[in-house]
Amino acid sequence: MSKVTYQLDGLGCANCAAKIESAVKKVDGIQDAYVDFSTAKLVFSYNDLHTEPLSKADVEQIVHTYEPDVNVHDDNSRVSENTHDDFDEKREKWRLIISLLTFFMALFLKASLPTVFLTMLIFTYVLSGYKVIHKSLRNIVRGQWFDENFLMFIATVGAIAIGEYTEAVAVMLFYEVGEFFQDMAVGKSRRSISALINIRPEIAHVKTPNGLEDKRPEFVAIDEVVLVRPGERVPLDGVIVKGETSVDVSALTGESVPNFLTTDDPILSGSVVINGVIEVRITKRYQDSTVSKILELVQNATAHKAPTENFITKFARYYTPIVVGLAVLIVAIPTFIYGVSTFSTWLNRGLIFLVISCPCALVISVPLGFFSGIGNASHHGILIKGSHYLEGINLIDTVVFDKTGTLTTGKLEIVEVITAPSYSKEEVIAMAQKIESHSNHPIAKAILNYQTSASKNTPPSPISSTSHNLISDLSEKYEEIGGLGLKAFFDQSNYLAGTEKLMEKYHIDYPKDISSIGTRVYIAKENVYVGTIILKDSIKEHASELIHSLHKRNIKTIMLTGDRPEVAGEVAAALNIDQFYASLLPEDKFNHVQTLIKQNRKVAFVGDGINDAPVLASATLGISMGRLGSDAAIEASDIVIMNDGLTSIHEAFAISKFTKRIVMQNIVLAIGIKLVIMLLGTVGLSSMWMAIFADVGVALLAVLNAMRILGFKPITLSNLTTPLNA
């Protein structure tokens, strides 16, 4: 499957955007297509086995059918921030200022100079409405009648026909004024959203034998070394090979506290170097880097439209033709009943009805609201793959947590070592460190970094890059036994390290009466038990507050873990979790979540995004915690928490609820006001001025209301002492 993106600079009509999307979907060979009005992007996909079904010329032809002034660009890498450039904005501003001045001067001269008054009205009508007139006439010729341009044109022509010259010019003029302010509001929202994701480095300073060479990040190869100076963004994911620095990762994680990094530490693209010059060896190509994946997620988030968005798109598609038909009936039926003498009265009411009917407020504000919610979430270090998932958070009634690395820090520490009679603590630790030397599991890290009393003055056994290389000594073998532990062969002996189930699998007699609570790693040599290592990790900050906040939302909490029941019970009791299940393999977690889904529960699973990938993918909503930069986390999850903080889950629920509230407000506002003024218009109690407000005024209010989402700040968990209102 290949995906093609085009930037549509100047796209200001949400209704036209929906028509462009529909037209592209109908092209043979197109498998899926969508137009993101919030970022003015057209994206379509097609099967790799076929040639690209749409060339740039084809795209331009489709786009210009509905929006002739839109410029189509095929530069997929850029986000247009100049949709409303200064020159166009100034030109439009002066066009409308001159139109307004001429209109009010005409009103002043109406009584004394009627001919001048009429001439100035004609000038104002043409100057303010020439774009609408041109588009409507062109669309009528093409058979595309039902859009806002047609509505404005037919309404004003009708008003002129019955002698309402002032009202006709006013409708056209104030419609254009409203469109100008509406475009400014949408443009501001687009620029705000672009600013949230403006983390793409433009240049990489690559070290070469001839000195530094500036390249675009797309052309930097793996293992090349780049120089990054203070104030610059790291262009690609890599490892620091020289220097040390503090880095600002707020654009990636939402975390404001800088991270200190030094030689051999991994560093992510998009991070800003605060001090010190560093050299970074590149480990990922641009298309696989963290910053690239974040940009792809945020910019293409509207590919998955929320049910509310889909409803509004379909609603607008049928709504306009229906109201045009109703307007005709409003004129025709009463005229037939009451006589031709009443025609002008009912024509005026029908025209008012037409002006009111434009669906701009709904078509623009609903998708803009959801995209603003996604933008706000990304600002807080929460990547949401689509508005479907943002809206879906509101439906969740059960949150299932993995334990290690999710509710707990995952940074285990050895708290006790129990040995068989013929072995010392130091010997058991040495065996365990040798067995775990090729593992990157949190338990392995804790064991490898542990120092016995005999080795306090020697460096701990690190997990170095060499530990992941191919084993050069053929007399050593290491094997991971999924969900149970590790098997190793060295020093002419077989070793095991893992859970009780591993001991039982190999029929090893081990002590079952250990009372200490913690994660237990049993060690065996030649199928004989030699000792037990007990580890514990601490509960994450704000874990208790998060569970409390979920309970306030009447959401059930469940914890699934592969750890022992005693350890799981201790954590569950400390956090007041409703239910927990322990000693689970990955497939057991999957089955538990599937059972909940079969019970018609809406389940969000929160895990680490790698070991729990099947469960994350199968849950109603998959939320991966941490693992920043992990491909598995991004691919398997619907929502990625970039800063590993539990507060982000609370923030995601709060942002989702606030977004839904604003979207529903806009729907009620737009439909409610339009229906009221439509009803008033049919009985002669509304005017053209009210109709203009119902169309342009409501659209502008809805867009401004949607933009409130960008500035929304959820109540922090630490301050959450009252019932949730967010």
Three-class HEC string of 604-650: EEEECCCCCHHHHHHCCEEEEECCCCCHHHHHHCCEEECCCCCHHHH
Position 229 scores a pLDDT of 92
548 and 402 within one domain:
yes
> Which of 183, 402, 608, 612 is the catalytic position?
402
Position 85 scores a pLDDT of 44
**What's the rounded Cα separation, in Å, for the pair 578 and 568?**
12
510 and 421 within one domain:
yes
Q: 238 in a domain, yes or no? A: yes
Residue written as token pair 């060295």? 490
Q: 346 in a domain, yes or no? A: no
Note the residue count of the chain: 726
Position 679 scores a pLDDT of 84
Query: What does 229-273 look like in DSSP terms, one character per residue?
Result: -TTPBP-S-EEEEE--EEEE-HHHH---SPEEE-TT-EE-TT-EE
Sheet holding 204-208, edge to edge: 211-215, 204-208, 225-228, 278-282, 238-242, 266-267
Position 132 scores a pLDDT of 84
Q: Tell me the pLDDT tens digit for each residue of 649-696.
A: 999 999 999 999 999 998 888 888 888 888 887 787 877 777 777 777
Position 309 scores a pLDDT of 60
Tell me, yes or no, if 402 is annotated catalytic.
Answer: yes
**What's the rounded Cα separation, in Å, for the pair 158 and 264?**
75
550 and 402 within one domain:
yes
Domain stops at, among 469, 501, 536: 536
Query: Domain containing 557 — which CATH number?
Result: 3.40.50.1000
Q: 86 in a domain, yes or no? A: no
**What's the rounded Cα separation, in Å, for the pair 559 and 555?**
13
Q: Provide the residue type at 439 as one letter.
A: S
Position 311 scores a pLDDT of 65
Position 722 scores a pLDDT of 47
576 and 499 within one domain:
no
552 and 502 within one domain:
no
What's the CA angle centered on 17, arms 15 and 20, to 5 degrees? 115
Query: Domain containing 48 — which CATH number?
Result: 3.30.70.100
593 and 450 within one domain:
no
Q: 700 in a domain, yes or no? A: no
Sheet holding 579-581, edge to edge: 382-384, 639-641, 621-625, 603-607, 398-402, 556-560, 579-581
Domain stops at, among 503, 536, 569: 536
Query: Domain containing 290 — which CATH number?
Result: 2.70.150.10
Q: What's the Cα-to-Cα distance from 3 to each of 6, 46, 118, 302, 387, rounded to whole Å?
A: 10, 7, 54, 15, 20
467 and 568 within one domain:
no
Q: Which DSSP symbol is given to 465?
A: G
**What's the rounded Cα separation, in Å, for the pair 368 and 366?**
5
- Give Cα 147 to chain centroid, integer Å: 31
Question: Which domain range does residue 481 map to?
Answer: 413-536
Query: Domain containing 440 — which CATH number?
Result: 3.40.1110.10
Alpha-helical runs (H) found in 274-306: 290-299
Residue written as token pair 């200490």? 516
- Give Cα 357 to chain centroid, integer Å: 32
Q: Is 36 helix (H, G, I), strand (E, B) or coil?
A: strand
What's the structural domain count of the chain? 4
Q: 376 in a domain, yes or no? A: yes
Pairing of strands 603-607, 621-625: parallel
For residue 272, list its beta bridge partners. Answer: 233, 248
Position 540 scores a pLDDT of 87
Q: 165 in a domain, yes or no? A: no
**What's the rounded Cα separation, in Å, for the pair 395 and 603?**
9
**What's the rounded Cα separation, in Å, for the pair 551 and 6?**
45
620 and 516 within one domain:
no
| Encoded tokens for 47 | 């099967």
8 Å CB contact between 277 and 227: yes
Alpha-helical runs (H) found in 142-229: 148-161, 165-196
527 and 418 within one domain:
yes
In sequence order, the 6+-apart residues with CB closer than 8 A to the CB of 627 are: 608, 609, 610, 633
Domain stops at, among 13, 46, 73: 73
**What's the rounded Cα separation, in Å, for the pair 15 and 366?**
12
514 and 554 within one domain:
no
Q: 512 in a domain, yes or no? A: yes
Q: 711 in a domain, yes or no? A: no
| Encoded tokens for 198 | 């403006």
8 Å CB contact between 50 and 30: no
459 and 523 within one domain:
yes
Sites in the chain below the pLDDT cut of 70? 1, 12, 14-15, 37-39, 48-50, 75-88, 144-148, 182, 185-200, 250-257, 293-317, 320, 358-363, 452-475, 609-611, 626-634, 718-726
Long-range contact set of residues 176-180: C-beta below 8 Å, sequence gap at least 24? 176/96, 176/99, 176/128, 176/129, 176/131, 176/132, 177/96, 177/100, 177/696, 178/692, 178/695, 178/696, 178/697, 178/699, 178/700, 179/12, 179/696, 180/92, 180/93, 180/96
Q: Which DSSP symbol is given to 163?
A: T
**What's the rounded Cα separation, in Å, for the pair 413 and 300?**
41
| Encoded tokens for 513 | 């009466």
494 and 549 within one domain:
no
